[in-house]
Structure 1
Amino acid sequence: MNASLLYPFIIIAGCLQALGNSMNAQLRGRLINPWLAASVSFLPIVFVFTMIFLALPTPLPTLDTLAAMPWYAPFGGVAGAVAVFGGLAFIDKVGAGPFNGLTLTANILTSVAMDSFGLFGLQGGGFKPMPWIGGLLMAVGVAFIARVTPDKGAEKDEGHGLNPRLLYPFIVVAGALQAIGVVWNAQLRGALVNPWLAATVSFLPVVFVFVFVFLIRPTPLPTKQDIAGIRWWMPLAGITGAVAVFGGLLFVDKVGAGAFNGLLITANLLTSIALDHFGWLGMKQVKAGASRLGGAALMIGGIVLISLS
């Protein structure tokens, strides 16, 4: 099967991921406590995947496939969730533009490195200049897009707290782990055979962590007015975003980590630009000016280089 035939499904997953991010932002605004909001967002994911697995319990893993599973494979969901933790902890300190730019750039370059060197069980393609040039183009595109954010609405970044650059290494690690988590999830799916079981196992530790942190830090809590303002679609944010994780379980070993994450991120950011431009889903309206459109063009050029190499 031609791997490029899977690209439309990955693009749809990236669009849904962007919608999920905006829906999560609205949910957090209503539930006040970010850990409560994260728990409410992730719990339906586990419920849905568990119900589908119970309805479609076969195929099941064998002792041989379980024995061949790397020890780190069940932690793909946790690795990917580090970026969520980072957003909760750091985005108000460094700003949305620098945070998203750093995480996505680290994600892209880590994906290209895994494809080139065959890390974590991927088939290594060796060093090829075109994917790296494409990755760098995408990184520059992300930087241009991140210059204009709903928080600032200007072409220049401003300061965000005391010495925010001290947090940059942690944010870069979060972006790298996000790319690594996609590959770990694919390996988990290979070991557990059933993709619905693999998705359930991937998300369970994430839900446990969010609920545990909320129980430790249960305040502040939403008021009755806050809860009354919750729209029916807000708690579905996690399920919308989880389509990308499930896509990784199914497709990353077929198209490669670089192409998968590149397509996913490009679709995510282009959808985010549209959401900001039109002010959909309650987002603060930010017009798609030359900086954002130019960054989008660079990202599209980058993914073409990665995909065709």
Structure 2
Amino acid sequence: MIFLYGIALLAGIATAMQPGQSTQLAKSFGEPFAAGLVSMLVGTATMLVIGLATGRLHLPSLQQAGAAPWWAWGGGVLGAGVILAQLFVAQRIGAASFLGLLVTAGVVTSITLDHFGLEGFATHPASLARLVGGGLMIAGVALVALF
């Protein structure tokens, strides 16, 4: 289990670094949309290589693809939205404010998803402690953004 928390920490570090890398690519290209497209293509290629190297890449059948809930297909659109936000917002508001808002919005949304068991998540009630934690994150990101 500690290993999984370590992977989550590394993903957090990557999330903090990715906006700077994406915006630098956009500056080098002189075109944010091209940089976003290249970023997603590199990500796709990375997933392909890792999937093939580990033997865990198995394309779904048409029946499996058809059985997926309609909303599950939006993940790629949301990923593109995150990259676009990195390209157009992160450099303007700063890394700490951008990531603070990104993570805090994610945690607050996750409390809602967990509470109602939405998008396939197991139900975890929005206890007072979880709500206070979300509120503290909002207060913390406000302090980071203001100072």
Aligned partner letter, 1:190: K
Superposition pairs for residues 12-23 of structure 1, below 5 Å?
none
Which TM-score applies when normalising by structure 2?
0.85
Distance 1:212 1:253, change over 3 A: same
Q: Which has the higher contact order (CA 8 A, sep 6+)?
A: 1
CA distance, structure 1, for counterparts of residue 110 and residue 34 of structure 2: 31
Gaps of 5+ in 1: 1-93, 95-163
Superposition pairs for residues 79-158 of structure 1, below 5 Å?
94=1
CA distance, structure 1, for counterparts of residue 11 and residue 110 of structure 2: 20
CA distance, structure 1, for counterparts of residue 146 and residue 60 of structure 2: 49
Q: State the match for 2:135 in structure 1.
A: 297
Gaps of 5+ in 2: none
Q: State the match for 1:194 in structure 2.
A: 31
Aligned partner letter, 1:271: T
Q: State the match for 2:19 in structure 1.
A: 182
Report deviation, 1:195: 1.4
**Which residue of the other structure, out of 49, 53, 73, is the alignment partner of 1:235?**
73
What SS is found at the alignment partner of 2:123?
Answer: coil
Residues 157-185 of structure 1 deviation map (CA, whole Å, 9 limit, x = unaligned):
xxxxxxx36x6555433321220111111
Report deviation, 1:209: 1.4
Residues 182-218 of structure 1 deviation map (CA, whole Å, 9 limit, x = unaligned):
1111111122222110101111111011122333415
Q: State the match for 2:46 in structure 1.
A: 209
Aligned partner letter, 1:199: G
**Which residue of the other structure, out of 95, 99, 109, is the alignment partner of 1:257?**
95
Identity of aligned residues (%): 34
Aligned partner letter, 1:299: M
Higher helix share: 2
Distance 1:301 1:281, change over 3 A: same
Distance 1:187 1:223, change over 3 A: closer
**Which residue of the other structure, out of 119, 128, 132, is the alignment partner of 1:281?**
119
Structure 1 stretches of 4+ with a deviation exceeding 4 A read 167-171, 218-225
Given the alignment of the two structures, is residue 272 of structure 1 paired with residue 110 of structure 2, yes or no? yes
Which TM-score applies when normalising by structure 1?
0.43
C-alpha RMSD of matched pairs (Å):
2.3
Residues 282-309 of structure 1 deviation map (CA, whole Å, 9 limit, x = unaligned):
3222210012101111101101110110
Given the alignment of the two structures, is residue 173 of structure 1 paired with residue 10 of structure 2, yes or no? yes
CA distance, structure 1, for counterparts of residue 8 and residue 97 of structure 2: 22
> Between Structure 1 and Structure 2, how many residues are aligned?
146
CA distance, structure 1, for counterparts of residue 62 and residue 25 of structure 2: 41
Distance 1:219 1:204, change over 3 A: closer
What SS is found at the alignment partner of 2:70?
Answer: coil
